[in-house]
Amino acid sequence: MEHAATVKPPAVPPALRLEDQRLGYALAQVRKVIGSAGIPDAGFEARQLVMAAAGVTREALLTDPDRTLTNDERLALETMVRRRLSREPLQYVIGQVEFYGRSFKVDSRVLIPRPETELLIEQALAFAGEQNFPAPRVLDIGTGSGVIAVTLATELPASTVVATDISLEALAVAKENAQLLAVAGRIEFVHCSLAAGVSGTFEIVVCNPPYVLTDFLSGPDIQPELGFEPRTALDGGRDGMAVYRPLLGGLDSIIAPGGAAFIEIDPPVTEQCLAEAKSRLPEASVSVLTDLAGLERCLLIELPH
Ligand code: GLN
C-alpha cells in the first residue's frame, strides 16, 4: 500500500529507558521522549501513559510523585511508550477512550470515537426529550466500538437498541462495552452491512459512516495514527459518498413515522448528502446541524407522522 510509507517510524526510534522508577521521574522522561519524537500534547499523553501503566489516577500521579513503579509497571510503561512512538494512537495503547463522559474500551478492531460525534448524541437526546417517546426504538448503523449505541441506551433507560456492524471484530468490542456499562440486556447486535439484517422501524436512527475521501487516506497529509485504524471504518470512496448512498437509499423503510435519523457528515460531503437525502426521502424534512466549531457535522432527517 502506498499509504504504508507515511506511517513508517523513523529508522532509529527513540526509546524510553528508566533509571529511576519514581512516578514523577517517569512522567518527565516519557514527556521528553515522546515530545522529542514530535508527538503533540506530550504532557497530556505522558500523564495518560503513566496513569495506564501504573494503574493510578491523575490525582495520585500529581500528589505522590515519589511512589515507585513496580518492575511490571515499568516494563508495561516502556512497551506502551514504544507503541506510541511507532505512532499507534494513544487510545489504542492505553486501551480506552472517553466519550460523552464515560470510559470505553477500544483497540485496533474499531475506529476511535471522535469528540465531534458527541453532537449526534446531544441531538438525538434532545429529539427524544421533545418527542417524549415512552419506549424509543433506537438503531445504530455501523456501531464500531458501540459508543453511540451504548451511550443512547444508557441515557434513554426506556429504550431498546439495535446496533449493526459489517465487522464481527467490531461487534465483539461493542458487546464488551455494552457489558461494561451494564446495558447489554437492551442492545441487540446484528452482523450485517448497514441495516440489511434489521427488521422493523425505529424512532431514532443514528449512524457515523466512513466518509474520508480515499485520495486523502492515501495522500501525504494524513496523520500516521490514522493508518492504524480500520480502513473500512474511514474510507468513504473517491467522493466520500460510497456508504452514504446505500445508507440514505435504505432509510425510508427504517425510520418510524414521526422518527428521525442523525447521520454524521463532514463539510466536503454536505451538499451531496443533502441532495441525496432529499431525493431518496422526498417526504422527509432534511437539514444540516453544525458542531461547536461551526462545521457541518450532522444530517438530520425527520419523517412526518
Ligand atoms: N472524523 C473521522 C476523521 O476525521 C472520520 C470518521 C468517519 O469516517 N466516520 O478521521
| Nearest CA residue ID for atom 8, ligand 1 | 210
Q: Is residue 7 part of a domain?
A: no
Q: Is residue 50 part of a domain?
A: no
Poorest-pLDDT segment among 161-165, 218-222, 294-298: 218-222
Q: How confident is the model at residue 5 (pLDDT cuts 50, 70, 90)?
A: very low
CA–CA separation, 104 vs 176, rounded Å? 9
pLDDT of 185: 98
Of 101, 50, 104, nearest to 78 by C-alpha is: 50
CA–CA separation, 73 vs 53, rounded Å? 6
Q: What whole-number percentage of the chain has pLDDT above 90?
A: 90
Q: How far is the CA of 143 from the centre of ligand 1 (A)?
A: 13
Give, for ligand 1, the residue of 91, 208, 232 to mutate: max count of ligand atoms closer than 8 Å to Cβ. 208
Q: Is residue 177 part of a domain?
A: yes
Q: Is the pLDDT of residue 6 over 70?
A: no
Q: Map residue 193 onto helix, strand or coil.
A: coil
Q: How far is the CA of 266 from the centre of ligand 1 (A)?
A: 8
Q: Is 114 in the pocket of ligand 1 (CB under 6 A)?
A: yes
Q: Is the pLDDT of residue 96 over 50?
A: yes
pLDDT of 292: 86
Containing structural domain, residue 116 = 111-208+243-302
Number of domains in the chain: 1
Q: Is 211 in the pocket of ligand 1 (CB under 6 A)?
A: yes
Q: How far is the CA of 112 from the centre of ligand 1 (A)?
A: 9
Q: Is residue 28 part of a domain?
A: no
Q: Is residue 162 part of a domain?
A: yes
What is the mean pLDDT of the segment spanning 209-231? 94
What is the mean pLDDT of the segment spanning 297-304? 98
What is the mean pLDDT of the segment spanning 140-145? 98
What crossing angle do the helices spanning 42-54 and 71-85 adopt, rounded to 10°?
Answer: 140
Q: Which residues pair with 42 in a beta bridge?
A: none
Give, for ligand 1, the residue of 234, 235, 262, 298 to mutate: max count of ligand atoms closer than 8 Å to Cβ. 234
Q: Is the pLDDT of residue 88 over 50?
A: yes
Q: How far is the CA of 209 from the centre of ligand 1 (A)?
A: 8
Q: Is the pLDDT of residue 16 over 90?
A: no
Q: Is residue 133 part of a domain?
A: yes
Poorest-pLDDT segment among 8-12, 128-132, 167-171, 220-224: 8-12
What is the mean pLDDT of the segment spanning 119-142? 97
Q: Is 212 in the pocket of ligand 1 (CB under 6 A)?
A: yes
Q: Is 8 in the pocket of ligand 1 (CB under 6 A)?
A: no
Three-class SS of 78-128: HHHHHHHHCCCCHHHHHCEEEECCEEEECCCCCCCCCHHHHHHHHHHHHHH
Q: Is the pLDDT of residue 2 over 70?
A: no
CA–CA separation, 19 vs 74, rounded Å? 10
pLDDT of 11: 54
Q: How confident is the model at residue 3 (pLDDT cuts 50, 70, 90)?
A: very low
Atom number in ligand 1 closest to CA 264: 9
How many residues are there in the chain? 305
Grid cell in block for residue 199: 427488521
pLDDT of 15: 77
Strands 285-290 and 296-302, by their bridges, are: antiparallel
Q: Is 207 in the pocket of ligand 1 (CB under 6 A)?
A: no
CA–CA separation, 87 vs 109, rounded Å? 16
What is the mean pLDDT of the segment spanning 132-151? 98
| Nearest CA residue ID for atom 7, ligand 1 | 210
What is the mean pLDDT of the segment spanning 282-301? 96
Q: Is residue 163 part of a domain?
A: yes
Q: Is residue 223 part of a domain?
A: no
CA–CA separation, 143 vs 150, rounded Å? 9
What is the mean pLDDT of the segment spanning 225-243? 97
pLDDT of 19: 82
pLDDT of 12: 55
CATH number at residue 296: 3.40.50.150
pLDDT in tens, 237-287: 999 999 999 999 999 999 999 999 999 999 999 999 999 999 999 999 999
Question: Considering the chain, what is the average pLDDT of its residues?
Answer: 94
